[in-house]
A and B are shown apart, each in its own frame.
Chain A
Amino acid sequence: MKRSRVEAICGFLFISPWVVGFMLFTGGPIIASLVLSFYQWDLITAPNWIGAANYKRLSMDETFLISIYNTFYFTILAVPLRLTVALIIAMLVNQRIKGIAFFRTMFYLPAIIPLVPMALLWVWLLSPDIGLVNFILSRLGVQGPLWLASLKWSKPALILMRLFTTGGTMVIFLAGFQGIPQRLYESAQIDGAGWWYKFVFVTLPMLSPAIFFNLVIETIRSFQIFTEALIMTEGGPANSTLFYYLYLYLNAFRWFRMGYASAMAWILFMMIFLATLIHFGLASRWVYYEAR
């Protein structure tokens, strides 16, 4: 057999685990869930074709609209805050002072704590009367809110919690810093540039690919907030933390509305896709790649 023939066959063999997995667990299911969204099915009785009725019902489902609002609220606040905090920490930790590696680890630590224990811990920390957060606030002279028990503060509570796990984002920024040539700072220094100027006109542009990457990833992840909401508040109080993914889960696995939930899943997919497209579209305006 020809050399290239052998190589081609071997090639397919090597990637076959992915191909099989893709067809069975990714590609197939995507199509299946699209088809499913046009049915009404509770897993027990036979599936029932209803056309676009699921989508129509969703547009009039008040709880669904609330879940979209909650998810957008969360994403719009959490993403910029997370990126900012991660950037500040990355800058702090990027200094060449002794023992900085230890502190880098400390900052990264919360990010690897499994989400379920973390969520339980934060329920305790945010306890209105005896929780640590309100205690610290009271020491600063501020009356802490009811946090997870409050309609107004339940989402901010979750955003606050998210700010502690900025480790992964921070590391991407750190890697980005490595790619900034020192000579740029040096020539800015020669031109008499101050600290702020150097930050805005050297650091930020050179960091923009990393900022972009983090922005896209964090947006996608924020759209999918689930575990915290299920464990800490079950969507309450009064649906104030009922996020999209949680509502989807309830529809599919508590109330067994498979078709309805599949429709929700596809809408979410489209929203994420659209958001990512927008990010990429806007990218050419502000992301700077050195290879120009």
Chain B
Amino acid sequence: MKLKELLETKNEWFGKEGPSFGVVLSSRLRLARNLAKYRFTQRASKIELKQILEKARQALTGIPNLRNSIFFNLSRLDKIGRQFLMERHLISCELMESSRGCGVLIVPDKNVSIMVNEEDHLRIQWLASGLDLRSNWLNISQLDDYLSGKFDYAFSSELGYLTACPTNVGTGLRASCLLHLPGLVMTGRIEKIIHELNKLGVVTRGLYGEGTKVMGDLYQVSNATTLGKGEEEIIQEIEGVVKRIISYEDNARDSLYRDSLTGSLSGNYSINLGDQVYRAYGILSNAQLISFEETLNLLSKVRLGVCMKYALPCSLEKINRLMVSTQPAHLQLSTKGELSIFQRDRLRAEILRSSLKG
């Protein structure tokens, strides 16, 4: 019942057009925190986890500025429900698969989610549309300050906020952006860029985060270092890197566009942009059965086409919504039942055909 509320919420991050929307789909700030008097999640006993979950539930559902929040005890949610939350990027893959006492607080109209008992006791997350990290920092920091009054955080003056994994210690801050980079992929430049990013202390991941694969030319980039730098410094650095990637991507797109008009093959690629875009549109608007992975890969080309101003009967916002709504759990939640792969692929194709016809 509560999940249906989410399904119908208006203010999702993927529906709006944020800054640099053509390349940056979303920005995310995440803070990792632990309670001082309990063992970290992996080591804690069932009783400890239950106590932490209950403490968290009480504190989180009473936050003053965050009305209309929904708290989910994940052990009471079925598989489809948990996957739905993961598809919305409100919980991680790890939390979705966890069988330990965990939960999440979601504030739909603010795109805030607070995971309880994931790798750390608390993971506070703030999502925004487009490239928007700096303005969200104040919001999440204030929320963190409020919560530090409710919980006794594990903190040392030397190492900062103490996290289960040493790679998160210090600020516990992960600042990331979800980027759409079809230009760099099609021109064969993406590998080099990723290599350069690694040298700059930036980590690249797939669509659903750590350990997931790249689909639809979507890359998540985030800071690798959390200790020894201030939070604003980390955010400023990542923003700088993302802006650089945006210019590389724009150059690649322009290059593809110019070559497609003349039919020349100036780069070491042999695809024609216009042809790729319209073929993708053709399949999406006519297929009778289609998998999610294929959908995402084709939508990537159509999205690129819309950004490059090709004549197509859909907006970026519509394409973003389709990228989310055609995911497996989303389909099954809208029909209120488990569907077989065949049924999902068929339903997905129906949705795409009706959405994309001009």
B partners with A: no
